[in-house]
Chain A
Amino acid sequence: MEVLSTEFRIQLVAIITSFVLMFLVVRLILRGKLREEYSIIWISGTALMLLFSIWRNGIDVLGSFFGVYSAPNLFFFAAVLLILIYLLHISVVLSKLQKQNKSLSQEIALLKDKYEDKAEK
């Protein structure tokens, strides 16, 4: 039953996963559910995943370039760092949104009050 070697099977899974993720991101953009600003990050993220699932030695090449003892560690380090930076960015965006949301609510409440005041007169 050994049609495919173990290494090739895991590579296939990685490639398929990357494609599925890329497909999901593209679909979200096409439906207008993801701002272009974020789509760049997600597309490049999935593209990188795809690159390293096809180019199997890529991670080792990079690892020896940076002089890392174990190549996957480099991958985890980079991934965690990028995710943290991105989360920080999302927190900033959320804070800004919350501030704008607050101002809008206050403005609406004041306008509604003025409007009702006029309607009564």
Chain B
Amino acid sequence: MTKVLIIIPAYNEEASIGNLLKEIRSTGLPFHYTCLVVNDASDDETAREAVNAGGRVLNLPVNIGIGGAVQAGFLYALENDFDYVIQLDGDGQHPPAEIPKLYNRIRNSGSDLVIGSRFLAPGGFKSSLMRRKGISLLSFLLRLLSGTVIKDITSGFRIFNARAFSILAEEYSDEYPEPESIIILSLSGLNVSEVEVKMRDRQGGVSSISASGSVYYMLKVSLAMFFTFISLKSK
């Protein structure tokens, strides 16, 4: 039987985490799955809300950033022999109804990582113009360095097979890990593709990236992609 782990990294998401877990259950996903909320040392009642809604909770003792939280989920998947890992944000931006699209794609294509993309089809929430420009710049950088074409490079709505998440269980960035992980996988010879999904605006809480943080985000991610490229190429 195929085992799927749904990793939901959550930091102070008490307002949305319960509803999200209920929504996943009522979606009636066509496979056997476990929901794992990785609570990144929240100050609020995220853990209790998640447990009450029937989720399994991994409580990190100190705050280590979203990347570290997702990586803890990969380690959990590795230890418990899961076949696929789905990564889903705790703020409700990623509609569970779109999960089957990701699942079907990874089962029926040769891809090791399938990314849920906002930009392949019209409709849904697409973020601000500035952010979209930034994302297309990073996407261009990815194409330049690895030849892989991914439009929604920062999307945190993704599905990995065991080959992909066992690589990332060892090497995963603490903050803004998404673009970096794509380049790690594609330069390791894995296949990465994307499938169109609709996203929503966040259901509660605040974004981890502020306006002034965007410049830092771009710098950090571009540098990280570049250094990952150099270190993987020189191996």
Contacts and interface: CB of A to CB of B under 8 A. Distances in A.
B68 A105 contact: yes
B42 interface: no
Interface string A100-121: 0110011011101100000000
Interface stretch (B55-63, B94-102, B118-126, B224-232): B55-63
Is chain A's binding surface mostly helix, strand, loop or mixed? helix
Interface residues on A, range: 10 to 19
Nearest to A112: B59
Interface in B149-194: 174
A109 B38 CA distance: 9
A105 B65 CA distance: 11
B76 A102 contact: no
Interface string B59-90: 11110110010011001100100000000000
A91 interface: no
A98 interface: yes
Contacts of A110: 58, 72, 75-76, 79
Interface of A: 98, 101-102, 105-106, 108-110, 112-113
29 contacts: A98-B174, A101-B62, A101-B64, A102-B64, A102-B65, A102-B68, A102-B71, A105-B60, A105-B61, A105-B62, A105-B68, A106-B60, A106-B64, A106-B68, A106-B71, A106-B75, A108-B61, A109-B38, A109-B58, A109-B61, A109-B72, A110-B58, A110-B72, A110-B75, A110-B76, A110-B79, A112-B59, A113-B59, A113-B76
